[in-house]
């Protein structure tokens, strides 16, 4: 039995529908992970089936690949595609400079690789993801299982030097076992509450040997499509201040 769409469902759909306006026949697309990206994949599949839209997708997780296949979207690997036109993906938070926290769904590594191999990254999100300052959402950091507790200790030490609002770190679990990413790694969730210097923190965390990647996406997103509960959507593009260059 299908349930009535919630206001948040309507907002996600509005964002996904608007994101379709960035897609043209012949494009190579990165397909994101998460509930909002999944709505986009389903709508894209409808256009492929009904209108014969010709696109080829590179999924950012096993589950997105399975969904896209079920929706009739042709898939390839990133190696085979080489470079992509547009990636459409969700976010856990975004700020006014379109800096993101991603990885709530555990797919941050492939998501970052795919987004960085694209001419354009379009983020689909509902209004709840828009924040003044990043960090209320716990920052996911993908780490190698080998020696992960030492890596966690090094992360904790690194946090001491940063302007953040909290320092609790939790190993992400699934059914009481460490959650495993598609690459077989662990995720540490950093409960920072507030991240004063996202760029600097991302750089410092990436220097720790056991850290594979962080969920901070800086200078990667080009556009955020915000879906609203009334079914409308707004497009936000970040235009860099000339003085900042």
55 binds ligand 5RP (CB under 6 A): no
Instruction: State which H helix or E strand residue 169 sits in.
Output: strand 168-171
Question: What is the helix (H) or strand (E) element at residue 34, kind and residue range?
Answer: none
DSSP SS3 for 136: coil
**13 or 102: whose CB is closer to ligand 5RP?**
102
Strand partners, 57: 29, 75
Nearest distance, CB of residue 81 and ligand 5RP, angstroms: 20
Are 237 and 99 a contacting pair, CB within 8 Å? Answer: no
What residues numbered 31-50 form the site for ligand 5RP, per CB under 6 A?
32-37
Start-to-end Cα distance in the chain: 54
Is 44 or 154 the residue whose CB approaches ligand 5RP more closely?
44
Q: Which two tokens stand for residue 181?
A: 């990413």
**Pairing label, strands 168-171, 186-191:** antiparallel
Whether 157 is catalytic is: no
Shortest distance, CB of residue 42 to ligand 5RP, whole angstroms? 13
| Of 73, 107, 109, 115, the one binding ligand 5RP by CB under 6 A | 107
The distance of closest approach from Cβ of residue 129 to ligand 5RP in the complex, given in angstroms and rounded to an integer, is 7
E-strand stretches of 41-138:
56-59, 74-75, 84-89, 93-94, 100-101, 118-126
Given the residues 111, 183, 197, 237, the one annotated as active site: 111
Residue 113, burial from CB neighbour count under 10 angstroms (0-12, 13-18, 19+): middle
Total number of residues that touch ligand 5RP (CB under 6 A)? 18
Work out the angle between the directed axes of helices 35-51 and 62-70 (0-180°, nearest 10): 30
Stretch that binds ligand 5RP, among 65-73, 96-104, 173-181, 233-241 (CB under 6 A): 96-104
Tokens of 17: 């529908």
Please give the residues from 73 up to 92 whose contact with ligand 5RP meets the rule CB under 6 A: 89-92
CB 54 → ligand 5RP: shortest distance, Å?
A: 26
Minimum distance of ligand 5RP from residue 225's CB (angstroms): 12
Catalytic residues: 111
Footprint of ligand 5RP (CB under 6 A): 32-37, 89-92, 102-108, 111
């Amino acid at each position: 039995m299908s349930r009535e769409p919630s206001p948040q469902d309507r907002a996600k759909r509005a964002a996904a529908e608007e994101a379709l306006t960035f897609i043209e026949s012949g494009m190579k697309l990165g397909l994101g992970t998460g509930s909002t990206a999944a709505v986009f994949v389903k709508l894209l599949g409808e256009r492929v089936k009904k209108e014969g839209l010709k696109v080829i997708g590179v999924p950012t997780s096993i589950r997105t690949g399975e969904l896209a296949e079920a929706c009739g979207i042709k898939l390839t690997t990133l190696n085979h595609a080489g470079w992509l036109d547009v990636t459409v993906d969700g976010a856990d938070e975004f700020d006014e400079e379109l800096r993101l926290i991603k990885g709530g769904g555990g797919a941050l590594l492939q998501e970052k690789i795919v987004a960085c191999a694209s001419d354009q990254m379009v983020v689909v999100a509902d209004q709840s993801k828009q924040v003044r300052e990043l960090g209320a959402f716990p920052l996911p950091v993908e780490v190698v299982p080998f020696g992960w507790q030492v890596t966690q200790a090094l992360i904790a030490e690194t946090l001491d030097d940063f302007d953040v609002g909290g320092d609790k770190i939790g190993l992400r679990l699934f059914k009481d076992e460490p959650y495993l990413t598609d690459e077989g790694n662990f995720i540490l969730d950093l409960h920072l509450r507030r991240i004063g210097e996202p760029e600097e923190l991302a750089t410092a965390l990436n220097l720790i040997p056991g850290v594979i990647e962080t969920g901070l996406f800086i200078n990667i997103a080009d556009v955020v499509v915000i879906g609203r509960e009334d079914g409308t959507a707004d497009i936000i593009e970040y235009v860099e201040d000339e003085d900042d260059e």
